[in-house]
Structure 1
Amino acid sequence: MNSLIFILLKRIRLPIILLVLSYAIVILGFVLIPGQDDQGNVWHMSFFHAFYFVSFMASTIGFGEIPYEFTNAQRMWTIFSIYATVTIWLYSIGAILSTLQNPAFKRILKENDFRKKVALIRDPFYLICGYGDTGKLLAHELSANNILSVVLDIDPERIDNLQIDEPDIDIPALAANAAFPEVLETAGLTHNLCQGVIALTNKDEVNLKIAITARLLNKERMLQDHLMVVCRAESVEVEANMASFGTSHIINPFDIYARRLALSVRSPSAYLIYEWLTNPYHKVRKEPIKPPKGTWVICGYGRFGKAISRHLNYVGIKTVIIEAEPDATRSPEGTIIGRGTEAVTLREAKITEAVAIVAGTDNDANNLSIVLSAQDEIKHYYRGKKRDREYYDKYYLKNTDYQGDIKHNIISEQTEGKLFSIARQNFSRNKKVFEKAELDFIMQPASIVAGEILSIIKTPLLSTFLSLARRQKDEWANVLISRISSFIDNTATTWMVEISEKQTPAVMYFLKKDKISVREITSHPRNRDRSLNCVVLLVHRKKNKESLRRYEMSDMRKASKYNNVLLPKNDFEIQEGDQLLICGDKESMHLMCWTVSNINVYNYIHSGYELAGSHIGLWFDKMKKKYNRETIE
Structure 2
Amino acid sequence: MRSSSSAQRQTELSDVFYLILRRMRFPLLLVIGVYTFCTAGLALIPGTDPLTGRPSPPLTIFDAFYVVSFTSTTIGFGEVPHPYNALQRMWMTLTIYTSVAAWSYSLVNVLALLQDKGFQNAVKIARFTRRVNQIRTPFYIVCGIGETGRMVCHGLDHLGLRFIAIELNDARLQELRMDEFGVDPPTVVADAKDPLLLQQAGLMNSNCKGVVALTDDDPTNQAIAVNVRLLAPRVPVLARIRDVETETHIGVFGGDLVINPFEQFAESLAAAITAPQRHRLRNLITGLPGQAIVPIAAPPKGHWIMCGYGRFGHMMVEELRAAGMSLSVIDERHYGEPGVDIKGTGTRSEDLKAAGIAHAVGLVAGNASDPKNLSIAVTARALNHDIYVVVRQNQLKNTPLIEAFDEDLLMVPSQIVAREFLARITTPLLNRFLRLIPQHNETECAQLYEQLSQLDPGRHPELWDLAISEQRAPALADLICGGGRFTTGHLRANPFDRGRRMSMVVLLVRRANKNIQLPDDHFVLRVGDRVLLAGSPVAKRHLELTLHDSNALHYVVTGQESRGGSLWRWLTRKNPPPIMPLPGPDDDLPPLKRTNVLYEDDSPGK
What's the TM-score, normalizing by structure 2?
0.79
Q: 1:501 and 1:35, CA in 2 relative to 1: closer, same or farther beyond 3 A?
A: closer
| Structure 1 unaligned residues grouped into runs of 5+ | 382-409, 411-416, 544-561, 623-633
Is the counterpart of residue 141 in structure 1 residue 145 in structure 2?
A: no
Tell me by how many angstroms 1:529 deviates: 3.4
Tell me by how many angstroms 1:252 deviates: 1.4
Q: Which AA in structure 2 matches 1:237?
A: E
1:174-193 alignment to 2 at 5 Å? 174-191=188-205
Is the counterpart of residue 375 in structure 1 residue 378 in structure 2?
A: yes
Residue-pair matches, total? 557
Aligned to 2:543: 592
Q: 1:618 and 1:534, CA in 2 relative to 1: closer, same or farther beyond 3 A?
A: closer
Q: Which AA in structure 2 matches 1:205?
A: P
1:315-347 deviations in whole A, cap 9, x for unaligned? 33333222232169x45141x223334455444
Aligned to 2:557: 606
Aligned to 1:361: 367
Tell me by how many angstroms 1:39 deviates: 1.5
Q: 1:76 and 1:439, CA in 2 relative to 1: closer, same or farther beyond 3 A?
A: farther
Aligned partners of 1:505 and 1:597 also within 8 Å: yes
Aligned to 2:245: 237
Q: How far apart, in 1, do the equivalents of 2:141 and 2:509 lie?
A: 30
Tell me by how many angstroms 1:110 deviates: 2.9
Aligned to 1:332: 339
Tell me by how many angstroms 1:486 deviates: 2.9
Tell me by how many angstroms 1:538 deviates: 2.7
1:456-471 alignment to 2 at 5 Å? 456-471=424-439
Tell me by how many angstroms 1:85 deviates: 3.2
Aligned to 1:16: 28
Aligned partners of 1:343 and 1:374 also within 8 Å: no
Aligned to 1:424: 392
Q: Which AA in structure 1 matches 2:121?
A: R
Aligned to 1:60: 74
Q: 1:56 and 1:429, CA in 2 relative to 1: closer, same or farther beyond 3 A?
A: farther
1:49-82 deviations in whole A, cap 9, x for unaligned? 3332332333233333333345666556655544
Q: 1:61 and 1:293, CA in 2 relative to 1: closer, same or farther beyond 3 A?
A: farther
Q: How far apart, in 2, do the equivalents of 1:490 and 1:36 lie?
A: 96
Q: How far apart, in 2, do the equivalents of 1:188 and 1:467 lie?
A: 32
Aligned to 1:319: 327
Aligned to 1:565: 517
Q: How far apart, in 1, do the equivalents of 2:510 and 2:566 lie?
A: 38
Q: How far apart, in 1, do the equivalents of 2:221 and 2:515 lie?
A: 33
SS state at 1:337 partner: coil
Is the counterpart of residue 518 in structure 1 residue 499 in structure 2?
A: no
Q: 1:420 and 1:89, CA in 2 relative to 1: closer, same or farther beyond 3 A?
A: farther
Q: Which AA in structure 2 matches 1:50?
A: A
1:538-591 deviations in whole A, cap 9, x for unaligned? 334469xxxxxxxxxxxxxxxxxx84323x444554455543211123343233
1:127-526 alignment to 2 at 5 Å? 127-165=141-179, 167-169=181-183, 171-191=185-205, 194-217=208-231, 221=233, 226-280=234-288, 283-326=291-334, 330-334=337-341, 336-362=342-368, 366-376=369-379, 378-379=381-382, 381=383, 417=385, 419-488=387-456, 489-490=458-459, 492-511=461-480, 513=483, 515-526=485-496
Tell me by how many angstroms 1:30 deviates: 4.5
1:371-413 deviations in whole A, cap 9, x for unaligned? 234314633x4xxxxxxxxxxxxxxxxxxxxxxxxxxxx7xxx
Q: Which AA in structure 1 matches 2:425?
A: I
Q: How far apart, in 1, do the equivalents of 2:398 and 2:239 lie?
A: 25
Is the counterpart of residue 92 in structure 1 residue 106 in structure 2?
A: yes
1:229-277 deviations in whole A, cap 9, x for unaligned? 4333222222222334534332211111112222333344433332232
Tell me by how many angstroms 1:281 deviates: 5.9
Tell me by how many angstroms 1:38 deviates: 4.0
Aligned partners of 1:280 and 1:450 also within 8 Å: no
Is the counterpart of residue 531 in structure 1 residue 501 in structure 2?
A: yes
Q: How far apart, in 1, do the equivalents of 2:526 and 2:33 lie?
A: 82
Tell me by how many angstroms 1:8 deviates: 0.9
Query: Which residue of 7, 15, 18 maps to 2:19?
Result: 7
Aligned partners of 2:508 and 2:515 also within 8 Å: no
| Structure 2 unaligned residues grouped into runs of 5+ | 1-12, 574-606
1:121-156 deviations in whole A, cap 9, x for unaligned? 655544443333333333443343344444444334
SS state at 1:320 partner: strand
Tell me by how many angstroms 1:95 deviates: 1.9
Q: 1:507 and 1:326, CA in 2 relative to 1: closer, same or farther beyond 3 A?
A: same
Aligned partners of 2:24 and 2:106 also within 8 Å: yes
Tell me by how many angstroms 1:508 deviates: 4.2
